[in-house]
């Protein structure tokens, strides 16, 4: 039973990371497309890759694109990209707890705390360790309370 729970927790954790990364990259991509940036596929791939890096995430890519527009004198487009970058950074804190919570009926705040705590303790592996440990523990803790 433990292996089944761990297997489900691991696959759910990986799926949530990929989904959130794709959502953040899509948000930055839409902002870049609206402001007429070339090489949109490259922007998507870099943003998607950076979304897996704790603390940094996908938002700095949007900030760099916005800074590029500001340095070229396009203030409106630069500020728009700054807003898009902020939204892409925040969406991680909204989507990840919702997606991780699907495996076990776990409180969203507890899920967010387990993700943040594990990242602080374990760095990059904490993205995987925190949700897996929290959902596995919650499964056994709440097992008889459904």
pLDDT of residue 122: 74
Q: What is the DSSP string of the chain?
A: -HHHHHHHHHHHHHHHHHHHHHHHHHHHHHHHHHTT-S-HHHHHHHHHHHTTSTTT-SHHHHHHHHHHHHHTT-HHHHHHHHHHHHHHHHHHHHHHHHHHTTTTT--HHHHHHHHHHHHHHHSTTHHHHHHHHHHHHHHHHSGGG-
> Does the reported pTM lie above 0.85?
no
Answer whether residue 145 shows pLDDT above 70.
Answer: no
Give the tens place of pLDDT for each residue, 33-88: 999 999 999 999 999 999 888 778 889 999 999 999 999 999 999 999 999 999 99
Q: Calculate mean pLDDT across residues 104-109.
A: 62
Determine the pLDDT at residue 146.
46
Residue 97 pLDDT > 80, yes or no? Answer: no
Nearest alpha carbon to residue 27 among 19, 142, 4, 76: 19
pLDDT at 144 over 70: no
pLDDT value of position 139: 65
Are residues 86 and 59 in contact, defined by beta-carbon separation less than 8 angstroms? Answer: yes
Q: What is the mean pLDDT of the chain?
A: 82
pLDDT for residue 2: 67
Please give the pLDDT value at position 96. Answer: 77
Res 102 pLDDT > 70: no
Pairwise pLDDT comparison (94 vs 33), residue with the higher score: 33
Is 137 or 102 the better-scoring residue by pLDDT? 137
Cα torsion 16, 114, 49, 83: sign:
positive
What pLDDT is stored for residue 103 in this prediction? Answer: 56
């Amino acid at each position: 039973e433990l292996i089944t729970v761990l297997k489900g927790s691991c696959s759910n954790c990986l799926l949530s990371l990929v989904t959130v990364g794709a959502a953040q990259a899509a948000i930055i991509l839409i902002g870049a497309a609206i402001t007429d940036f070339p090489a949109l596929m490259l922007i998507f791939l870099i943003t998607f890759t950076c979304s897996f890096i704790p603390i940094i995430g996908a938002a700095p890519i949007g900030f760099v694109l916005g800074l590029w527009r500001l340095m070229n004198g396009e203030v409106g487009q630069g500020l728009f990209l700054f807003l898009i970058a902020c939204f892409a950074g925040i969406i991680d804190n909204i989507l990840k707890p919702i997606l991780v919570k699907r495996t076990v009926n776990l409180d969203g705040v507890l899920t967010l705390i387990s993700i943040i705590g594990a990242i602080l303790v374990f760095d990059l592996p904490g993205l995987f360790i925190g949700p897996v440990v929290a959902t596995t523990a919650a499964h056994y803790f709440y097992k008889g309370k459904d």
